Amino acid sequence: MKYAKPYKPEGMMQVDLYRNANEFCSWPFNAGMWKIDEDNILVAFMNIACDYAVPGTLNHDRVETFGRIRAVRTRDGGRTWSAPSDIADNNRLQDELRYGVKHQLAEPFDFRDPNTLLACWCTPNSAVDHAQPWVKMSRDGGETWSEAVMLPDCGIPRYQGRPSYIVRPDGVVLLFLTARPKNNPHDRPVVFASFDDGRNWSMVSMMPNALEYRMICPSPVILKDGRIMVAVRVKPAMTSAWDELFASDDGGLTWRFVSRINDHGDTVHLTLLQDGRLFAVYGYRQPPFGIRARISEDNGLTWGPEMILRDNGGSNDLGYPRAVEARPGEILASYYFNDKEDPIQQHGGVRYIGGTILKV
């Protein structure tokens, strides 16, 4: 067994995707990241006005419930970014989805088209009982979005919805959510499927759970041979977290444990690179706070040395990354961050959306 120290890859580029000193920006993993074509990438995040002089404005329940989902776009692989556009107003959606007109997606969506995007979140928010997931669809690469449509509860009282989905070779769309069943106090990953191009959805499987602690935030990829790999966040406590990898050989119906990805890591995102390697990026919420990643060259059986993408975080309130291979061999990772050098310090500096460009 080899014990390699974490290292910083050479030639990394750190970029700001969006930053406003009067706003709290967070959780690209919750909001979404889509590669439309080479260099054209859309990154979504949670956003709300924030007075950093008032500690209560940093409360995560406030951000989830009353904020909005916004998105910024790059057309040069992450070097420069557009002004933000809106995907959803979470506060308005609460009333609409509970008491307003129930929308339906009447027309099919071509998920083979890279301009077809799916956004997914939940109302009232991911931290309360009876939260239910919804989806929004785009046909034009995120320029415009459909009305939000509720997913069926399938007998489960609480979900956490996130836009983590894959398309099987037979055209079935699999959407990976987190659920808290009636008789289990711990969240576990579940799999929804659409058999009619995104118009209707049903739960098709539950992933293994640990019985003693939460397993949340599933992040899937599908290999060239059809095997589905899913990274999950294991969370016994805020001070104890790591990431694990599971696999399905029957299209997402049953699951088996493959490996543990790291010693410590928070929410993890899995990317399948063009050369077949797996890239796992995750928040690191132990000092020194930051963003880290590992690569597997054998379909997740083993993982290479830990890479330090950022280690200058001002607190553990960071992470929730997503990543894409923006150009061959070049990865763009996005996440929310706060700098320890930031003069505005409220359990860390201003929360903004940062990114790292690195070659692997």
Residue pLDDT tens, the chain, 360 long: 678 999 999 999 999 999 999 999 999 999 999 999 989 999 999 999 999 999 889 999 888 888 999 999 999 999 999 999 999 999 888 888 888 778 888 899 999 999 999 999 998 876 677 889 999 999 999 999 999 999 999 999 999 999 999 999 999 999 999 999 887 788 999 999 999 999 999 999 999 887 788 999 999 999 999 999 999 999 988 789 999 999 999 999 999 999 999 999 999 999 999 999 999 999 999 999 999 999 999 999 999 999 999 999 999 999 999 999 999 999 999 999 999 999 887 889 999 999 999 999
DSSP 222-233: E-TTS-EEEEEE
User: What are the percentages of helix, strand and coil residues in the chain, rounded to 5?
Assistant: 5, 45, 50
Give Cβ neighbours of residue 95 (< 8 Å, ≥ 6 apart): none
Spatial contact of 341 and 312, defined as CB atoms under 8 Å apart: yes
Angstrom CA distances, 318 to 64, 76, 94, 253, 337, stand at: 15, 25, 26, 33, 5
Which residue type does 276 have?
Answer: G
Quick one: 144 exposed, middle or buried, by C-beta within 10 A (0-12, 13-18, 19+)? exposed
Angstrom CA distances, 78 to 75, 117, 304, stand at: 7, 19, 25
Of 252, 265, 273, the residue nearest 321 (C-alpha)? 265
Q: Which pair of tokens denotes residue 112? A: 């083979």
Quick one: 2 exposed, middle or buried, by C-beta within 10 A (0-12, 13-18, 19+)? exposed
Spatial contact of 178 and 187, defined as CB atoms under 8 Å apart: yes
- pLDDT of 96: 86
Taking the C-alpha atoms of residue 283 and residue 303, their distance in angstroms, rounded to an integer, is 17
Cα dihedral: 227, 230, 231, 236 (round 10): -130
Which residue type does 207 have?
Answer: M
Q: Which domains does the chain have, with CATH numbers?
A: 13-359 (2.120.10.10)
Taking the C-alpha atoms of residue 34 and residue 19, their distance in angstroms, rounded to an integer, is 20
HSE, side-chain direction, 13 A CA sphere, residue 147: 14
- pLDDT of 213: 86
Distance of CA 80 to the CA centre of its chain: 22
